[in-house]
Structure 1
Amino acid sequence: MTGPLLLLDAASLYFRAFYGVPDSITAPDGTPVNAVRGFTDMVARLVTERRPSRLVACLDLDWRPVFRVRAIPSYKAHRVAEGSPATGGAATELIGGAGPAEAVPDGLSPQVPIILEVLAAAGLATAGAEGYEADDVIGTLCATERHDPVEVVSGDRDLLQVVRDAPNSVRVVYAGRGLAKAEVFGPAELATKYRLPSDRAGDAYAEMAMLRGDPSDGLPGVPGIGEKTAATLVSRFGSWDELLAVAADRADPRMAASVRTKLAAAADYLAVVEPVVRVARDAPVHLDRDDAVPPEPVDADRLGELSEQWGLGGSVDRLITALKAATPV
């Protein structure tokens, strides 16, 4: 047996590391390295516990893509850094972003390049797609993988839409409450939790999200349609197109008049929301190296220099130990 392809939602994890590890953790020169230490420990733990044969840390090369903002201008608008791009732009440029900078804590921004250097020295692949978010990179890598099982690690519920059983399994290790309390979702678990049809749980989850909206992403949703009503609606119809067609047909008895009225009032939003919520499956993904998990760091000297310079000590040691023990059984 080979281990799974492990796809990491890198920004989701290093944000959680930043807030989960005390900012009193600093390098010898006083630079905060709490996110670096926390993220490195997360990767070591995941490699140890999930035993992947392949691993890719997926990056946001554009955290607020133009095609999504054109469709819904409020998309993530509340996260744009004040004065961007004139101020705070470096936070996005660290991972290749070209648009307005995301509001990132001052202590986190300088740690992102260190994280990328640690991954490179360890020999772990990173991937991005110009003009797309990490979610789209993950969506594309899931869509194109046909052999190995895939496990996606993220604290973002949006990625629950990628779960599937065939042609190969895709599971989401949802770490919204941290890795220690992570939940593993496949179609069955997703269907049970949100009362969705199990035969298309991933697609149905995305459709439910379109209807209910998501304030954290600036998506208004349909006023008056909450999560339960949204789940009931998407379970009643076989596709998003069918749901919209029934909403436009007053003679179809499968939709209550009150619900049809709410959907009609939000017609402009419903016409453009689908590509905003659904992850891309054809993004131009570029990997910086082969995604096989190496049995040892590819540049041990550089990893040692980074460990000494930034005081990463035990975190790097745990990562090296994890790599050496990572051969799937």
Structure 2
Amino acid sequence: MLLDSASMYFRAFFGVPEILAPDGTPVNAVRGLLDFIARLVADYRPTHLVACWDNDWRPQWRVDLLPSYKAHRVEAERTGEPDVEEVPGPLEVQVPIIREVLAAFGICVLGADGYEADDVIGSLATQARQPVDVVTGDRDLFQLVDDEADVRVLYIARGVGKHERVTNDWVRTKYGIDARQYADFATLRGDASDGLPGVAGVGEKTAATLLGRFGDMAGIVAAALDPDSDMGPGPRGRIKAAAAYLEVAPTVVAVARDLDLGPADTRLPDQPRDLPRLADLGHRWGIESPVQRLTDALAGR
């Protein structure tokens, strides 16, 4: 089980009412995340679990290829404008606490310098050689769904308790494409939340139609440049006009799958690794109840 950690603690922060530790520090994201993990462990009983981390939420190599990538989030931070993607102060102070608590539990946390959590997830899922559940509220990770390799997404956009199990059939029913085409689909359609402009005039329906006829981005671009292809004049003109964007965007959108993350013990323990430290953290931050619930979930696994 691979956790998109930031996706989960953002949802915990915004979904759980403010709760303060004895010293007044907010801990709603800490409590919510622990309860999310406890529920997932109890329901799915994974043998291995990794909390995947954003060591770099906006890697420079992606920005070099596409300067608009997540640029609106930087601007929101610079101007002080509210933005759901910006880490609010009351959440920011909780992130180190989350790291401490996960370490005391013995839950593996993995990141990679110069890469996002999505890239860590993509590499682990591709290299796992065992069934994988990816827990995220981010549609970009639908590109990893692979029925043959037994990789699926537990999509938590509506909440952990109402999550959807995303398989290739789910993606095809929802978007009219196969999961392996999702990165190209997102590139064509665009995604304002990531600063991806997409191809002007190409929405989800047209993107799905083009991928259905021409297979992938390379096939679509080749058809647009081939005067003898049966691509209509409208889509042809739009694809050709977006040539510069389409040259770089697929690399930006595709998650890395080949990172060398080094040796790591990803096994999920059946009891906390450091009970005295965990007890101290539970008392200090007033999170004894969610700590106990996750402890019970590990033991019941």
Q: Same fold per TM (> 0.5)?
A: yes
Question: By how many angstroms is 1:69 displaced?
Answer: 0.4
Q: Does 1:275 align with 2:269?
A: no
Secondary structure at the counterpart of residue 322 of structure 1: helix
Partner of 1:240: 217
Q: 1:165 aligns with which of 126, 144, 147?
A: 147
Q: Give runs of aligned pairs for residues 124-163 of structure 1, distance below 5 A.
A: 124-146=107-129, 148-163=130-145
Q: Give runs of aligned pairs for residues 176-215 of structure 1, distance below 5 A.
A: 176-196=157-177, 201-215=178-192
Q: 1:264 aligns with which of 224, 240, 246?
A: 240
Q: Give runs of aligned pairs for residues 70-81 of structure 1, distance below 5 A.
A: 70-80=64-74
Partner of 2:105: 122
Distance in 2 (alpha carbons) for counterparts of 1:249 and 1:189: 33
Secondary structure at the counterpart of residue 89 of structure 2: coil
Distance in 2 (alpha carbons) for counterparts of 1:308 and 1:116: 16
Give the length in aligned residue pairs.
Answer: 296
Question: By how many angstroms is 1:284 displaced?
Answer: 3.4
Distance in 2 (alpha carbons) for counterparts of 1:284 and 1:250: 43
Distance in 1 (alpha carbons) for counterparts of 2:128 and 2:102: 22
Distance in 1 (alpha carbons) for counterparts of 2:212 and 2:108: 38
Question: By how many angstroms is 1:82 displaced?
Answer: 3.2
Partner of 1:45: 39
AA aligned to 1:235 is G
Q: Does 1:14 align with 2:9?
A: yes
Task: Identify unmatched segments of 5+ residues in structure 2.
Answer: none
Question: By how many angstroms is 1:83 displaced?
Answer: 4.4
Closer, same or farther in 2 for the Cα pair 1:104/1:191, shift >3 Å?
same
* 8 Å Cα contact 1:212/1:222 also seen in 2: yes
Distance in 1 (alpha carbons) for counterparts of 2:64 and 2:196: 13
* 8 Å Cα contact 1:127/1:286 also seen in 2: no
Question: By how many angstroms is 1:205 displaced?
Answer: 1.1
Secondary structure at the counterpart of residue 113 of structure 1: helix
Distance in 2 (alpha carbons) for counterparts of 1:82 and 1:184: 34
* 8 Å Cα contact 1:130/1:284 also seen in 2: no
Q: For 1:120-156, what per-residue CA distance to the aligned partner results, in whole angstroms no more than 9, with x for missing partners?
A: 100111111110000000000111112x200000011
Q: 1:317 aligns with which of 289, 292, 300?
A: 292
* Structure 1: 4+ residue segments shifted above 2 A: 81-84, 283-287
Question: By how many angstroms is 1:202 displaced?
Answer: 2.1
Partner of 1:90: none
Compute the RMSD of aligned alpha carbons.
1.4
Distance in 2 (alpha carbons) for counterparts of 1:14 and 1:214: 22
Partner of 1:227: 204
Question: By how many angstroms is 1:203 displaced?
Answer: 2.1
Partner of 1:3: none
Given the two structures, how large is their TM-score scaled by the length of structure 2? 0.95
Given the two structures, how large is their TM-score scaled by the length of structure 1? 0.87
Question: By how many angstroms is 1:286 displaced?
Answer: 4.6
Distance in 1 (alpha carbons) for counterparts of 2:102 and 2:262: 16
* 8 Å Cα contact 2:190/2:197 also seen in 1: yes
Secondary structure at the counterpart of residue 219 of structure 2: helix
Question: By how many angstroms is 1:103 displaced?
Answer: 3.0
Secondary structure at the counterpart of residue 250 of structure 1: coil
Q: Give runs of aligned pairs for residues 81-96 of structure 1, distance below 5 A.
A: 82-83=77-78
Distance in 2 (alpha carbons) for counterparts of 1:284 and 1:106: 33
* 8 Å Cα contact 2:27/2:94 also seen in 1: yes
Task: Identify unmatched segments of 5+ residues in structure 1.
Answer: 1-5, 88-101
Secondary structure at the counterpart of residue 113 of structure 2: coil
Secondary structure at the counterpart of residue 297 of structure 1: coil
Distance in 2 (alpha carbons) for counterparts of 1:27 and 1:293: 27
Question: By how many angstroms is 1:313 displaced?
Answer: 1.6
Partner of 1:175: 156
Distance in 2 (alpha carbons) for counterparts of 1:82 and 1:227: 30
* 8 Å Cα contact 1:74/1:218 also seen in 2: yes
Closer, same or farther in 2 for the Cα pair 1:127/1:286, shift >3 Å?
farther
